[in-house]
Amino acid sequence: MSMYGSTRNYNPGIALYKAMDIENLPQEREPSKEGGLLVRKDMGMANKNMDQSNPVFRVAKQMEVIRKYRNMSNDDA
Q: Within a 13 Å sphere around the CA of 13, how many CA atoms are in the beta-carbon half?
A: 5
**Calpha distance 62→59 (Å, rounded):** 5
Q: Which stretch binds other proteins (CB under 8 A): 10-18, 23-31, 36-44?
A: 10-18
Any contact of residue 31 with other proteins (CB under 8 A)? no
Span interacting with other proteins, options 28-36, 42-50, 57-65, rule CB under 8 A: 57-65
Task: Measure the CA–CA gap between 45 and 49, rounded to whole angstroms.
Answer: 9
In 3D, which of 35, 36, 25 has the Cα closest to residue 68?
25
Question: What minimum distance in Å lies between the beta carbon of 17 and other proteins?
Answer: 5
By CB under 8 A, name the binding residues for other proteins: 2, 4-9, 11-14, 16-18, 20, 55-56, 58-60, 62-63, 66-67, 69-70, 73-74, 77
